Amino acid sequence: MIDKKDEILSIIDTEEYKVEVHSKEEGNGDWGIFVFVNGVKLEWNWSGRCIKTGYGNHNEDILTIKNFFIKNKVKVDDYERSKLCVISRMKCTPDEFKKVYELLVNHNMDLIKMTGVGKQEKPKGPNFEGTIFEPLKERGATIGGMMGKMVCEVAGINRDYLLPEFHTKNSGEIDGVEICPDTQKPITIYECQSGIHYGNYLDEHHLNKGLHKYLYAEEIVNTVKKVVFLAGGYSNSVKNIIKERRTELLNRDNPIEVVLLKTTKKENKIGIVEVVL
């Protein structure tokens, strides 16, 4: 079982879901791997040679999870003593794990709640604790002079022509807009993820604002050449959406570039780098 660790990890989207490995190498026990997917704890357990789900879920939810697997033709062993849903005891394979994982990813069951055991956590990038930016929040840190300078340098924005908190008539307030020195028209949209100081990954709300709501504002759509995002990181699903949209936007008569930036942290110093898709 333990020799399948890398195969199991390759199945899980580790950028979308937080994974914990418990092995001798990690020094935190030696029993397996777990990941929370849509409110369900999914374990690949090499000490018990099985796949387990439902640890920490409400008792009624265990039955819901069990029936869900049975409906989707996944064999579930009877294991009522521990109030877990155990799959294919003594003969589980990575292919079985992949089937269970993908079912949980693609189906959000109507579960009651977790019962105190750690809930699913989204991965995060670096926070600002212990850095010069710690006292600041999103706007002050990302549009202010110090971080704004880093954003402009990495993204190729002319800092002298970056307007913060740019109000549009009908599409809301954009975090920042670079205007053309000659025409005075917007040529770059800058959108920062809220909670950047906590390391929050780019979510669908901010993604849609940058590539839909703001991009097609009447003040923007005819002159914009670039959309820049800043976040603590990017999940694989968000990256896939951006890849598709970037291809479409680059094929316009007036091409639009999409630039992804993320924060880094080293020796209590925040940096910014470009993410290459």
What is the pLDDT confidence band of residue 74, given thresholds at 50, 70 and 90? confident
Residue 259: CB atoms within 10 A of its CB come to 19
pLDDT (mean) for 77-105: 72
Cα–Cα distance measured from residue 143 to residue 154, given in angstroms and rounded to the nearest whole number: 14
pLDDT at residue 189, as a whole number: 97
Highest mean pLDDT of the ranges 49-53, 138-142, 212-216: 212-216
- Binned at pLDDT 50, 70 and 90, residue 50 comes out as confident
At 200 the pLDDT is 87
Could you tell me which CATH class the domain 138-274 is placed in?
alpha beta
Sign of CA dihedral 12, 18, 20, 26: positive
Higher pLDDT, 167 or 28: 167
No. of H helices and E strands in the chain? Answer: 7, 12
CA dist., res. 257 & res. 269, Å (int) = 29
**Looking at residue 172, what is its pLDDT?**
87
Q: Do domains 2-106 and 138-274 have the same CATH topology?
A: no
39 pLDDT band, cuts 50/70/90, is: confident
Domain 2-106 fold is Aspartate Aminotransferase, domain 1 (3.90.1150)
pLDDT band for position 81 (cuts 50, 70, 90)? very low
Q: For residue range 100-138, list pLDDT tens digits in order.
A: 898 888 887 777 655 444 444 567 889 898 999 988 877
Predicted local distance difference test score (pLDDT) of residue 108: 72
pLDDT band, very low/low/confident/very high, at 67 (cuts 50, 70, 90): confident
Enumerate long-range contacts of 176-183, CB under 8 Å, 24 or more apart. 176/143, 176/148, 177/220, 178/226, 180/223, 183/223
pLDDT in tens, 202-214: 988 899 999 999 9
Q: Which residues have C-beta within 8 Å of that of residue 146, sequence separation ≥ 6? A: 132, 133
Q: Which of 138, 241, 235, 234 is nearest to 190 (CA)?
A: 138
Residues 266, 269, 272: CA angle, nearest 5 degrees: 85
pLDDT at 192: 94
Position with higher pLDDT, 35 vs 88: 35
Q: What is the mean pLDDT of the chain?
A: 84
Q: Kindly list the domain boundaries of the chain, sorted by start residue.
A: 2-106, 138-274
